[in-house]
Amino acid sequence: MKTVEIFGGTLLCDIEATEQAYVGHESYAVTCPCIPCKNYLAVREKYFPRNAIEALGQLGIDFKRDIEVYHMAKVEGLHVYGVWFYFVGGISKEPAYQDSIAFLEGGKWLPPSFQNKPLVTVDMQLRLPWEIALEEPRQ
Ligand SMILES: [Zn+2]
């Protein structure tokens, strides 16, 4: 287990086990047929916060291998998405509260390679523009 200091907290991460669990795991957004996921895929490369990509990378997580993506709302012209990732490990000291990223022990929906492992859910909220020609949700 590696100790990762993040947002004032301390996380324990088994990077090897995390990377192993993601092998063969396809991004949820890639497999989901809904229109908001198609937009997510079109814009994530450009707008995913760089510091979040870095934070996820420290935990052995590739930001393109999301576990779950869902559209929450349209706020001030941008679309709020919930995006989850998992890593194998635990929370030693709770990171400071951030409105765009939370760490929770356990996981709700487990792809096979994540089952029977101690997991932490990284629960993110991203505000993203709409950049595809398909119908944009009004709210
Ligand atoms: Zn979807």
Domain membership of residue 115 as a residue range:
2-128
What is the helix, strand, coil percentage profile of the chain, to 5? Answer: 25, 35, 40
Does 76 fall in a domain? Answer: yes
The CB density around residue 95, as the number of other CB atoms within 10 Å, is 18
Contact assessment for residue 124 and residue 100, using Cβ atoms and an 8 Å cutoff: yes
Assigned domain for 133 exists: no
How far away, in angstroms, is 31 Cα from ligand 1 center? 8
CA neighbours within 13 Å on the CB side: how many for 31? 10
* Ligand 1 center to 126 CA (angstroms): 15
30-71 tens-digit pLDDT? 999 999 999 999 999 999 999 999 999 999 999 999 999 999
d(CA 49, CA 11): 20
**Domain contains 55:** yes
51 backbone dihedrals φ, ψ, rounded to 5°: -70, -30
Q: Which residues of 43-56 are buried (b: 16+ CB within 10 A; e: fewer)?
A: bbeeebeeebeebb
pLDDT tens digits, residue range 87-120? Answer: 999 999 999 888 899 999 999 989 999 999 999 9
Q: How far apart are alpha carbons 28 and 69 in whole angstroms?
A: 7
Q: Would residue 134 count as lying in a domain?
A: no
Which pTM was predicted? 0.94
Beta bridge partners of residue 87, listed in sequence order: 120
CB 84 within 8 A of CB 67: yes
Q: How far is CA 8 from the centre of its chain?
A: 19
Residue 56 alpha carbon to ligand 1 centre in Å: 21
Question: Is 11 contained in some domain?
Answer: yes
CA of 50 to the centre of ligand 1 (A): 23
Number of domains in the chain: 1
